[in-house]
Every structure is written in C-alpha cells, then in structure tokens.
Structure 1
C-alpha cells in the first residue's frame, strides 16, 4: 500500500457498514449503525469523512471522523483508524482535513472529549495544539472513566494544511 492508494473523502451511505465495523473494532462504546446513517443523510451539522484504501479488494475504509459544525465551533464527535493502519499518519490527515474544511465553513475553534487513558489520541490532539480545558468525571458509561475536555483556538488554516501534508509522511 502506498499513500496514493489512500483516498480521503466524504462519508457515503454505502460506507456505513465498514464505518460501523471500524467503530466496533476501535471503541468499547461504539455508535449504533443507524447513527452513522443519520450523520450522512440527515444531520445538517455533520461533516463525516473517511479514509479509503483503494489497493484493497474491495476498497476498505481504514479511518473515519465525524465533526459537527455548530455556529463557529467544530466538535470532533468521533475519530478512529483501523488497528492495521495505525501509526501511519491517517488519524492526523483525517483530523487536519476535517478541521480545515470546517474552518473554511466558518469554524473558529474546535473542541472534543477524549478518554483519560487514551494517551495516543491525546498526543495526536496535542500535536495540533489542543489544550486541556477540564474533565468530565465518569463520562464514559462502560467503565466510569473520566473524559478530558480539550479545545483548539483558533483554527489556523496554515497550521492545519501543514499537519495535513505532514500526515502523509509520518513513519
């Protein structure tokens, strides 16, 4: 697989079974499959994206992100990369692209929640300049884990473009 085989594009209804399977593989509290259908077909605030590996037969969804654009805020609702494709810059490219596109639509800041124990995701967000704003105690219902609240202010298109392009060459 080369970078040229990875296509970043908007999520489509046909992607939902693979996106849901990726969610189940990645999280202990996956979204219901119908939630992704809602994000693609009905939620006017939703900006869902996927990374597709076109070298696989059939093509395979290897990463996804859902961002909600509400007024001038981009809320990162979910982000996942298939375990076989992690540490290749895919999460960084997905996040940079989604935030850059949201910024083009008027978003000035971004925020998210991340599990307290998810150090890998926190490191990704810190690379973007997200800062810790607080904690939501016992946020995750599966185990009562705290959520760390993080925000990025402002959304800088030059920095996001650099992160998008750098994601192509992360070892």
Structure 2
C-alpha cells in the first residue's frame, strides 16, 4: 500500500469520491445525493472509509451498512492504476473488522457477475456465492452475484435436551 492510509470518509471527500465512482462505475455510479444519504447515517448504521495516498489523493473508498446482526458491503472502489497493491484488501479488511465490532453475524454483498477481480478478492476473504440477482445492474443487464461470509454463529435458541 506504499504510504496509503485509511480514514473515515467525510462530506469534504465527496467530490473526489464521486470522480472515482463515475470513473469506476460509469453505467451505474452512485449520485452525490445517494452518497450524502449514506454519510448521514454514519456512524449509526454506516461505516465509510477512504484510502488516501501521500499528498492527499484519494485512491479508494468503501462503505458498510450494519444493523440487526447483519452487515452489507455497500461499495468498494479502487482507482484503476492502484489495483493489485493491496488497497482493496485493506478496505475490505476494514469493513469486516467494523462488522465484527458491530457484532454482525454475517456480511453480505453483491458483485457484478463480470467482475472477476472483485469476485476473486471476496472468495479469498472467505465469501461464498449464495445467490444471483438477475439483471441487477442497469442499464447493462448484468447479473449480481450475492455473496456471504459468516462472522460468527448464533447461540442455540429455545429449549435444549438435557443429558442424564
């Protein structure tokens, strides 16, 4: 990661994050309003971070929603010229750590079926493919692969059989 640091995303980061978002996801980029709404829920149910290079350039960002024992990776993006250097892994690690701090039992995400690099990263981090959302990404009609990683198991609920 060569000097890149992760820090909490703030409203002042939005112009740079939006430029990254539009460059990385031109067909289905989030709007400024969507990102502002996400940040408005931070830290209550959201956790957003940016990856900042020496000199202040933002080279990545990521967000998590967590409530009721479940967490969802909302987004992860790394500038194309910075891929392969561990930034995506560091961002994902931060999101998983935050999900654990919030006592989430599992973390879910959707990833484009045609995004092989991201799918490999998620599998490396223990995510399993658990479903498909047909034609989820619009306007390109690309399926989303739903993935899940269990963080902990629930304790047994209800009555248990006593041993004699």
Q: Say yes or no: TM over 0.5.
A: yes
Structure 1 match to 2:135: 138
Alpha-carbon contact 1:11-1:48 (below 8 Å) kept: yes
Alpha-carbon contact 2:5-2:51 (below 8 Å) kept: yes
Distance 1:155 1:22, change over 3 A: farther
Structure 2 match to 1:40: 39
Structure 1 counterpart SS, 2:103: coil
Distance 1:90 1:155, change over 3 A: farther
Could you list the runs of 4 or more consecutive aligned residues of structure 1 that deviate by over 6 angstroms after TM superposition? none
| Separation of aligned partners in 1, 2:5 and 2:14 | 16
Structure 2 match to 1:151: 148
Structure 1 counterpart SS, 2:137: coil
| Separation of aligned partners in 2, 1:123 and 1:106 | 26
Specify which of 11, 18, 21 is matched with residue 19 of structure 2: 21
Is the helix fraction higher in 1 or 2? 1
Q: TM-score scaled by structure 2? A: 0.87
Q: TM-score scaled by structure 1? A: 0.83
Alpha-carbon contact 1:110-1:155 (below 8 Å) kept: no
Q: Using the TM superposition, give the Cα deviation of residue 154 of structure 1 relative to its aligned residue in structure 2, in angstroms.
A: 2.1
CA offsets per residue over residues 14-70 of structure 1, 9 Å max, x none?
1010011110011121000122122222453111111101x23xx111110011012
Structure 1: state its 5+ residue gaps.
157-171
| Separation of aligned partners in 1, 2:73 and 2:52 | 20
Q: Using the TM superposition, give the Cα deviation of residue 155 of structure 1 relative to its aligned residue in structure 2, in angstroms.
A: 5.6
Moved more, 68-77 or 39-48: 39-48
Structure 2: state its 5+ residue gaps.
154-164
Q: CA RMSD in A?
A: 1.5
> Counterparts of 1:16-165 in structure 2 under 5 Å?
16-27=14-25, 28-42=27-41, 44-53=44-53, 55-56=54-55, 59-154=56-151
Structure 2 counterpart SS, 1:143: coil
Q: Using the TM superposition, give the Cα deviation of residue 7 of structure 1 relative to its aligned residue in structure 2, in angstroms.
A: 1.2
Alpha-carbon contact 2:129-2:145 (below 8 Å) kept: yes
